[in-house]
Amino acid sequence: MAKRRHATLMPRDLAELYESSDGDVNLGDEIALLDARMAQLMLKLRNGSSDQELLVRAYRALEYAVISQDDADIEKTLNKMRQVIFGGANEKAVWDEIYAVVEARRKMVVDETRRVVSTENLISVTMFAPVIERLLASIALHVPDQETRNKISMTFRRTMGDEKLLPGKSS
């Protein structure tokens, strides 16, 4: 796999996730970058017990330390409670960023999908010129009035924007 555009500018762990991303080739490097960031954020989330369970355990340990008047255990338990409380705040910040990345990716995929669909539905003027030629030939065959045929032909030429592509244009 060729190196992706943003990989050289990233921290190594993010670059590895980015390079290994299966990002859809049509959607580009930017979506793969968002996928890599999402994976990086997911790795920051804690595993295991909920904050409430951890706080309940720490509180019980604190009660026991207070009853036993063990200052070292009280300090250790308070530190554990601080870690749980501030860790939860950090985890919320990670989730907030995850939601932002998901929304950015969703918008990017919608925009890219629209672009791809609109590109696939377009045909070039040179590809469309034979259709116009046939249409003008049909008009020439079925509209007997020369002045009306000339007006129709001129309207088509103006619509196409390049009069040289259409038949019947004298230089």
> What's the average model confidence in pLDDT over 160-168?
56
What mean pLDDT, rounded, does the chain reach? 76
* Size of the chain in residues: 171
Domain holding 10, by residue range, is 1-44
* 169 assigned to some structural domain: no
* 166 assigned to some structural domain: no
Same domain, 57 and 113: yes
pLDDT computed for residue 167 by the predictor: 52
CB 81 within 8 A of CB 58: yes
> What's the average model confidence in pLDDT over 133-148?
88
pLDDT computed for residue 89 by the predictor: 67
Same domain, 112 and 130: no
Q: What is the DSSP letter of 131?
A: H
pTM as predicted: 0.44
Q: How far is CA 93 from the centre of its chain?
A: 21
Res. 30 pLDDT band, cuts 50 70 90: confident
How many other C-beta atoms lie within 10 A of the C-beta of residue 77?
21
Same domain, 34 and 58: no
Q: How many structural domains compose the chain?
A: 3
Same domain, 24 and 81: no
Of 17, 20, 23, nearest in space to 36 by CA:
17
pLDDT computed for residue 170 by the predictor: 47
pLDDT computed for residue 171 by the predictor: 42
Counts for the chain of helices (H) and strands (E), in that order: 6, 0
* 13 assigned to some structural domain: yes
Same domain, 117 and 130: no
3-state secondary structure of 18: helix
> Where is pLDDT greater, at 152 or 164?
152
Same domain, 80 and 101: yes
pLDDT computed for residue 145 by the predictor: 92
Q: What is the pLDDT of residues 4-28, one digit of tens each?
A: 555 555 567 766 766 766 554 455 6
* 165 assigned to some structural domain: no
Residue 102: pLDDT over 50: yes
How many other C-beta atoms lie within 10 A of the C-beta of residue 9?
8
> Where is pLDDT greater, at 82 or 3?
82
> What's the average model confidence in pLDDT over 90-106?
85
Same domain, 54 and 112: yes
CA atoms of 101 and 108, how far apart (whole Å): 10
Q: Please report the DSSP string for 24-87 in residue order.
A: -GGG-HHHHHHHHHHHHHHHHSPPSS-HHHHHHHHHHHHHHHHHTT-HHHHHHHHHHHHHHHHH
